Amino acid sequence: MKRLNSTHVIKLTILGVAIGCAIPALAKDANSLDTIQVTSTRSELAIKKSLASVTVITRADIEQSQAPDLADLLSHQSGLDIVRSGGSGSIVSIFTRGSNSNHTLILIDGVRVNNAIQGSFDVSNLPVAMVERIEIVRGPRAALWGSDAIGGVIQIFTREPRQFAELRAGSYGRAEFDAGFGVGDEESNFGVVLGYGRLTGFSATNAAAFGFNPDDDGYDNRHILVRGQTVFGNQRVSAFALATKANIDFDQGVTDQDNRQIGLNMSGDISERWQHSLSLSNSYENLETPAYGSVFGSRRLALDWVNTIDVNEQNRFNVGVNWSREKGFSEDYGVLSIDETRRNTGLFASWYGEFDANRFELALRHEDNSQFDGKTTAQAAWGLQINDSLRFRASWGQGFRAPNFNELYYPGFFGFYAGNPNLRPEESNSVELGFRWDQDSRQQWELSAFRTRVDALIAFEGLNSSAINISKAALDGAEASYKFKGEIFSLTTNASWLDARNDITDEKLLRRADRKLNVTTNIKINDQWNWGLDFQAASERPDFGASTAGYGRVDARVSYHFADAWTLEARLENLGDKDYQLIQGYNTAGRSGLITLRWNGKN
């Protein structure tokens, strides 16, 4: 297969942007390209006012994409490298702006879900049918969210209570069903979403993988979401419970994975200018692999209280406290190898201000952790409204990641690869410059450039390959995007340039592509028919042993709204049947199809 070099990717970027400039004449009317997000500042703020690089994916965007899972959906977003060890259900790693896969904080309805054992969260087992919207914030947010937010934050909001049903069937034995039921009004409501899916799959590995077995590696997933809320005076009380149980085949056996998240929240006005949000949550993950006799699990109980004070129309303060208790455990052939608990208390304060054409943001947070000494992080940003359509922003921020329980306490194998309880947190410093140009009410251009340095990276390179703070990383890059949204035609294109290296050896970091390009188009033929094309290209990725080749992939989709609330959708992936890998030794799907019958009932 022919490799895509950086010149090819840049040419494709220019082509995508040129198409975006030429097509707007097709549109009759336009919709606003702006929306509200909460993740970047922990309080509601329009994206156009944000001093960070933010993307919001709505429920309408999710349905239009016809993405079969979250990994596919996120892979089309700027600044994210998504790699998966096989087909649906296989482990998914997210590299945000070249940072490590455990440097992205994942939240579900505000609940931190990065597990304490391995430090990351696998999105492969959270079905897209249970997702209402996603907010992606690129760049460090440790001063607001604490540990793990070195590369960025991805917050997933679960589906709002409503009636719907989705039936999907496709290649590799895919069969899925999801349904939702909701009652109530805007103030008080209750809803349930449940579903089941399975695939017979394809062989996750090839001959380049250790222990290769050419059998099909299947997957099944059962899941349920319960949500509700009501109002007491000027306080809104809401709660959710989410559970997924998946069985993932691999060459040597089956992995059983359980995930559960529960959240209770009370929010509202304390006074005319003072709002608060008080949350109690519990997150649990358990991963069992009988073939290896291993069990890994973690549990986190957390309490968050965030206060937002609007001093006036130009100045807002956020003050908050977070307390959590994390427990991690693991077993090998019935012998308990890790059984540890730690506590963390975080205090933070932030200020967002507007003066004439200037916007400012300052944040400071201090962590008191029972496992390591206290940690203080800060961030600052400035924005300038050059004119009605052009905005400039500059920011600086610190990040850190607390060592996970494997890195701290794992006993190792026959004295090798042991954890180290004296590890320090990983630390980072980032600077970023960005421009946004709202060409008109339909078109938006955005450019970001960043430089991140990560110190005290944890690596198993000490005595007998034990865990030590030794590595350093240098991450430099730029991201460009163009969006057009009209009544008939819409287009989104983004390109990423990245140089991610070990700052000591100057070697490129594994499994990050230097160049990426995504182009998504949609055309509304009439009130019934819509169709679109998605193009994705990436340069080669360095990996263990050998690099994986660059690739280009095209997907096509069509939808037919044939009756009130009923839609039939069809998606054809990898039209060119490209044979490519994201991880050395692991296969990706060839040409494949997906058909969805969707009913969106009245709320």
Q: Tell me the pLDDT band of 211, cut-offs 50, 70 and 90.
A: confident
Tens of pLDDT, residues 406-444: 999 998 887 889 999 999 999 999 999 999 999 998 999
Q: How many CA atoms lie within 13 A of 336 on its CB side?
A: 5
At 29, list the tokens: 């009317």
Q: What is the mean pLDDT of residues 315-327?
A: 97
The confidence band for 7, taking pLDDT boundaries of 50, 70 and 90, is very low
The answer to whether residue 494 sits within a structural domain is yes
* pLDDT value for 603: 58
Q: pLDDT value at position 172?
A: 96
* CB neighbour burial string for 472-481, b if at least 16 within 10 angstroms, e if fewer: bbbbbbbbbb
pLDDT in tens, 349-398: 999 999 999 999 999 999 999 998 889 999 999 999 999 999 999 999 99
Structure tokens at 551: 């690739």
Q: Number of structural domains, the chain?
A: 1
Is the pLDDT at 130 greater than 90? The verdict is yes
pLDDT of residue 27: 37
Confidence band, pLDDT 50/70/90 cuts, at residue 249: very high
Please report whether residue 557 resides in a domain. yes
- Region 452-481 average pLDDT: 94
Residues 188-209: what's their mean pLDDT? 95
- Calculate mean pLDDT across residues 180-186: 94
Sequence-distant contacts of 183-191: CB under 8 A, at least 24 apart: 187/229, 187/230, 187/231, 187/236, 188/229, 188/230, 188/231, 189/161, 189/228, 189/229, 190/161, 190/227, 190/228, 191/159, 191/160, 191/161, 191/162, 191/225, 191/226, 191/227, 191/228
**What is the strand order of the sheet 131-138 is part of?**
53-57, 131-138, 152-158, 104-108, 111-112
- In the chain, % of residues over pLDDT 90: 85
* CATH number of domain containing 150: 2.40.170.20
Alpha-carbon span 284 to 243, nearest angstrom: 9
572-594 mean pLDDT: 95
Domain hosting residue 323, numbered range: 6-600
pLDDT for the residue numbered 25: 37
Least confident of 32-41, 172-181, 221-230: 32-41
The CA distance from 145 to 111, in Å, is 11
Torsion of CA 193, 199, 202, 205, to 10 degrees: 50
DSSP strand E in 251-314: where? 253-271, 274-289, 294-310
Separation between Cα atoms, residue 46 and residue 284, nearest integer Å: 33
Q: Is 6 left (phi over 0), alpha (psi -120 to 50) or beta?
A: alpha
Phi, psi (rounded to 5 degrees) for 520: -125, 125
pLDDT value, residue 23: 38
pLDDT at residue 24 in the model: 38
Chain mean pLDDT for the chain: 92
pLDDT above 70 coverage of the chain, percent: 94
- Confidence grade of residue 445 (pLDDT, cut at 50, 70, 90): very high
Tell whether 207 is covered by a domain.
Answer: yes
Assigned domain for 1 exists: no
SS in 3 state form for 414-445? CCECCCCCCCCCEEEEEEEEEEEECCCCCEEE
| 566 part of a folded domain | yes
- Quick check: pTM over 0.75? yes
Residue 173 clears pLDDT 60, i.e. is over it: yes
Is 529 among the domain residues?
yes
User: Once rounded to an integer, what is the mean pLDDT over residues 128-135?
Assistant: 97
